Amino acid sequence: MMKDNKIVKEKRSFGGKSLFGYFIPDNALVISVIGIFIALNFIVTYWIQIPVPATGGYINIGDLTVMFTALLFGPIIGGIAGGVGPMLADIFSPWVIYAPATLVIKGIEGFLIGFIANPKDCEGRVSYRDIIAVLFGGILIPFGYFIYEAFIIKLGTAVALVEMPGNFFQFGFAAIGSILLIILSRENIIEALPQVFNKVFIPIETENVE
């Protein structure tokens, strides 16, 4: 009973500071984690860029880290770092016209993957939710950019279709790669850095007590 009372008090202290069981970034540690993973997403997106002359866009491997970030930290950090990092890569590249689309598409991708995977409630190295998450979130890559190219910047559907095979490859590579990274590292990272994840996840037992 004393433990339950303590949990209730802890839960009340979280009031208004969480979303879906994840803390809103309002402390230096979580903000620092977001900054680190924004930088990681920027570097990986910027590192390898394969131009697609027909659309003025490019294929990259940045979604690997977008998915990994979301699978590791959940929807809030996944959405922020996943959107802002790749957007900065567009801004500092010749393809700046894609920056608004990248912020929205990859931000939603990161949020959706983190939400579906729900890593705060994950036991073991990987779960079926992780696989479902990267499939549902990653499909935004080819279809999101197709809509942007065909209808927002008005390149037309025929031109936008040219980039879709490359974007599907980008999606598939990222999905497989991120799941492998999670299998190899998630459990070890969370166990090694409890002081970080205690500021990211609300404890499950605390969240469930009424």
User: In this predicted model, what pLDDT tens digit does every residue of 157-183 receive, in sequence order?
Assistant: 999 999 999 999 999 999 999 999 999
Sorted by sequence, the CB contacts under 8 Å of residue 86 that are 6+ apart come out as 41, 42, 45, 60, 62, 66, 102, 103, 106
Residue 149 lies in a domain: yes
Q: What is the domain count for the chain?
A: 1
Domain carrying residue 66: 27-202
Residue 20 lies in a domain: no
CATH number of the domain residue 128 falls in: 1.10.1760.20
pLDDT confidence band for 122 (50 / 70 / 90):
confident
Which of the 8 DSSP states describes residue 202?
P
Inter-axis angle of helices 99-117 and 75-91, nearest 10: 160
Residue 4 lies in a domain: no
Return d(Cα 159, Cα 178) in angstroms, integer.
30
Residue 207 lies in a domain: no
Residue 88 lies in a domain: yes
- Judged against a pLDDT cut of 60, whether residue 3 lies above it is answered with no
**Quick one: which of 168, 146, 138, 170 has its CA closest to 67?**
138
Residue 128 lies in a domain: yes
Residue 3 lies in a domain: no
